[in-house]
C-alpha cells in the first residue's frame, strides 16, 4: 500500500471519529440549520464526484489541471487511478440510462398504486372500523381490540408483490427498449446462411459507417443513435474494403485459435487480402462464391447467343458476377504462370486478348461458342486437383493444359486463332 493511500485511510478514520462526535452535538444543542449545514459539509466530498459523473466533460476538465481544492476533493473521494483515467461514458449514454430507470420506476409505482394499493385502502378502513368480537380466540389474544391481524394478512401479499415485481417491470421495459434499439440498429436480422450471403455485402459499409470515425458526420445525440444504416459499399477495392477485410480476417482467425471452427471453415470464411491489379471489385469470402461458377457455366451454355439476358442475370447476382470475374482473372494468371514456352505464351496472350475484346464489345455469347464450357470447367477442376496434389504428375498437368488450349482454340474461338 502506497503512502498516499495510507494517509488517505488515516485521515478518513480521523474524520469519521470527528463526525461521530460532531453530528450528535449539532443535532442536540444547536439550531436545525447548523445541523443541516454539517450534513451538507459531510456529504459534499462524495456528492461532488457523483454529480460530476453526470457531466463527463466537466469531470475530465477538472481531472487534468493542478487546482489544489479540486485535487483534494477528488483525492478524498477516491484514490488516483491511472488505468482508465479520463475514460467516462458520454452524457448522452448517462441520460439514456437515467431515462430507462425513470420510465421503469414511474411505470412500476403507478401500476402498484392504482392496481395494488388504492383498491385496498377502502376495505382496510372498513375492516379497522369494525369492532373486534369478544369470542374471537380470547385465550390466545386477550388484549386485541381491533382487526390489525386481518389487515396484516390482507396487506402482506401486496407488500411482497410490491417489492418483487420490480424485476418483472425490468424485464418488460428492457425487452421493449432492447427490441426498439435492435430494430433501429438492425440487430439479429441475419438468422440463416442464406440471409448472411445476401446481406454480407452491406457489412463493409456498416463497418466503416459505425466503427470508423468520420469527421464529416454532423449527426449527434438521438439522431446519431437511431439513424445509422447499413450502407452498401461500392464495387471498389479501396481503403474501406481493406479495412473491413483486416477486421473480418482477425475475427475469423481468432475463431480458429479458439478452436471454434476447422481449417476448412477458416478457408471458406477468410477474405483474400491479395488482389490482382486488373480487378476493380472486392474479393469476397469463398462461402459467398461457392457453387456460383457451375451455375454460371450452366446458364451460359443454355443461353448461348443471348448476351443481354446473361448480363442481366450477372447484374442481379453480384456474387456470381464477382465469382466469374475472379475466376477469369485467376485462370489468366494461372496459365501465364504455368506455361513457359514463348510460342505458347504468345498463344495464351492472343486468346485472352480476343476474349477481352469480345467482353468490351458485348459480343462474347454471339461470336464465341460457349456450349463446351462445362467440359472446359471440368478440365480446369482436374488441373487444380493435380496442382494441389503433393506428388505432382507433370505429365498429367501438361496433358490437361494441352486439352484446355485445344478446346479453347478449336471449339470456343473457332477460326479466330491460328496456331
Q: How many CB atoms lie within 10 A of CB 411?
A: 16
DSSP string covering 207-249: HHHHTS--TT----HHHHHH----PPPPS--SHHHHHHHHHHH
* For the chain, percent of residues with pLDDT exceeding 90: 10
| 40-54, 182-196, 315-329: range with highest mean pLDDT | 315-329
Question: Does the pLDDT value for residue 209 go beyond 50?
Answer: yes
- Report the candidate in 334, 323, 335 with the shortest Cα–Cα distance to residue 299: 323
Mean pLDDT of 248-260: 92
Burial (0-12, 13-18, 19+ Cβ within 10 Å), 282: buried
Cβ atoms of 158 and 120 within 8 Å: the answer is yes
| 98-102, 190-194, 338-342: the lowest-pLDDT one | 190-194
Mean pLDDT of 44-55: 69
| 23-32, 148-157, 175-184, 246-255: the lowest-pLDDT one | 23-32
State residue 236's pLDDT score.
46
pLDDT, tens digit (0-9, with 9 covering 90-100), for 79-97 = 556 566 666 677 788 788 8
Calpha distance 165→279 (Å, rounded): 61
Higher pLDDT, 21 or 237: 21
Calpha distance 231→209 (Å, rounded): 7
Mean pLDDT of 286-299: 86
State residue 283's pLDDT score.
81
Q: How far is CA 279 from CA 65, 141, 274, 329, 356, in A?
A: 54, 94, 11, 8, 13
Cβ atoms of 204 and 233 within 8 Å: the answer is yes
**Residue 341 — very low, low, confident or very high, per pLDDT cuts 50/70/90?**
confident
Query: Residue 35, Cα to own-chain centre: how many angstroms?
Result: 53
Query: What angle separates helix 32-53 from helix 56-63, to the nearest 10 degrees?
Result: 90
State residue 258's pLDDT score.
92
Question: Does the pLDDT value for residue 137 go beyond 80?
Answer: no
State residue 73's pLDDT score.
65
State residue 233's pLDDT score.
45
Buried b (16+ CB within 10 A) or exposed e, 356-391: eebeeeeebbeebebeebeebbebbeebeebeeeee
Q: What is the dihedral of CA 108, 110, 115, 121, to 10 degrees?
A: 120
| 35-44, 62-71, 351-360: the lowest-pLDDT one | 62-71
Question: Does the pLDDT value for residue 13 go beyond 80?
Answer: yes
Evaluated on CA atoms 10, 16, 20, 21, the torsion sign reads positive
Higher pLDDT, 332 or 138: 332
Mean pLDDT of 229-246: 61
**Residue 230 — very low, low, confident or very high, per pLDDT cuts 50/70/90?**
very low
State residue 67's pLDDT score.
63
Calpha distance 162→393 (Å, rounded): 81
Higher pLDDT, 202 or 73: 202
Mean of the per-residue pLDDT values of the chain: 78
Q: How far is CA 146 from CA 57, 149, 179, 194, in A?
A: 60, 8, 51, 72
- The strand ranges marked E within 330-388 are none
Higher pLDDT, 264 or 307: 264
State residue 174's pLDDT score.
93
| 172-186, 194-208, 217-231, 310-324: the lowest-pLDDT one | 217-231
State residue 171's pLDDT score.
93
**Residue 255 — very low, low, confident or very high, per pLDDT cuts 50/70/90?**
very high
Q: In the structure grid, which three cell numbers stand for residue 214, read together?
A: 468520420
Higher pLDDT, 76 or 316: 316
Amino acid at each position: 500500500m502506497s503512502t498516499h493511500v495510507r494517509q488517505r485511510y488515516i485521515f478518513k478514520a480521523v474524520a469519521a471519529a470527528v463526525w461521530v462526535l460532531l453530528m450528535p452535538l449539532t443535532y442536540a444543542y444547536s439550531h436545525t440549520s447548523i445541523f443541516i449545514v454539517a450534513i451538507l459539509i459531510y456529504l459534499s466530498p462524495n456528492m461532488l464526484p457523483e454529480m460530476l459523473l453526470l457531466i463527463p466533460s466537466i469531470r475530465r476538465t477538472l481531472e487534468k489541471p493542478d487546482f489544489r481544492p479540486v485535487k483534494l476533493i477528488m483525492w478524498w473521494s477516491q484514490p488516483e487511478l491511472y488505468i482508465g483515467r479520463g475514460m467516462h461514458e458520454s452524457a448522452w449514454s448517462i441520460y439514456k440510462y437515467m431515462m430507462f430507470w425513470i420510465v421503469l420506476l414511474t411505470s412500476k409505482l403507478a401500476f402498484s398504486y392504482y392496481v395494488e394499493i388504492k383498491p385496498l385502502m377502502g376495505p382496510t378502513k372498513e375492516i379497522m372500523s369494525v369492532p373486534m368480537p369478544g369470542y374471537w380466540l380470547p385465550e390466545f389474544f386477550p388484549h386485541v381490540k381491533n382487526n390489525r391481524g386481518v389487515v396484516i394478512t390482507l396487506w402482506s401479499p401486496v407488500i411482497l408483490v410490491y417489492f418483487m415485481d420490480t424485476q418483472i417491470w425490468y424485464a418488460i421495459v428492457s425487452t421493449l427498449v432492447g427490441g426498439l434499439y435492435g430494430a433501429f440498429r438492425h440487430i439479429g436480422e441475419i438468422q440463416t446462411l442464406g440471409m448472411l450471403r445476401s446481406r454480407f455485402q452491406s457489412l463493409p459499409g456498416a463497418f466503416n459507417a459505425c466503427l470508423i470515425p468520420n469527421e464529416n458526420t454532423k449527426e449527434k445525440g438521438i439522431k446519431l443513435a437511431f439513424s445509422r444504416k447499413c450502407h452498401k459499399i461500392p464495387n471498389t477495392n479501396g481503403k474501406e474494403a481493406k479495412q473491413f477485410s483486416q477486421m473480418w480476417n482477425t475475427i475469423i482467425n481468432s475463431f480458429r485459435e479458439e478452436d471454434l471452427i476447422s481449417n476448412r471453415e477458416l478457408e471458406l470464411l477468410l477474405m483474400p487480402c491479395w488482389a490482382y491489379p486488373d480487378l476493380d471489385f472486392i474479393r469476397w469470402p469463398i462461402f459467398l462464391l461457392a457453387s456460383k461458377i457451375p451455375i454460371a457455366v450452366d446458364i451460359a451454355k443454355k443461353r448461348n447467343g443471348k448476351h443481354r439476358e446473361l448480363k442481366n442475370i450477372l447484374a442481379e447476382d453480384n456474387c456470381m458476377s464477382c465469382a466469374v470475374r475472379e475466376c477469369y482473372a485467376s485462370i489468366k494468371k494461372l496459365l501465364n504462370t504455368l506455361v513457359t514456352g514463348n510460342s505458347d505464351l504468345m498463344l495464351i496472350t492472343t486468346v485472352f486478348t480476343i476474349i477481352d475484346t469480345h467482353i468490351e464489345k458485348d459480343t462474347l455469347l454471339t461470336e464465341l461458342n460457349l456450349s463446351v464450357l462445362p467440359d472446359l470447367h471440368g478440365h480446369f477442376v482436374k488441373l487444380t486437383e493435380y496442382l494441389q496434389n503433393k506428388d505432382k504428375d507433370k505429365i498429367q498437368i501438361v496433358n490437361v493444359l494441352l486439352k484446355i488450349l485445344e478446346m479453347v482454340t478449336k471449339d470456343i474461338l473457332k477460326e479466330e486463332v491460328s496456331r
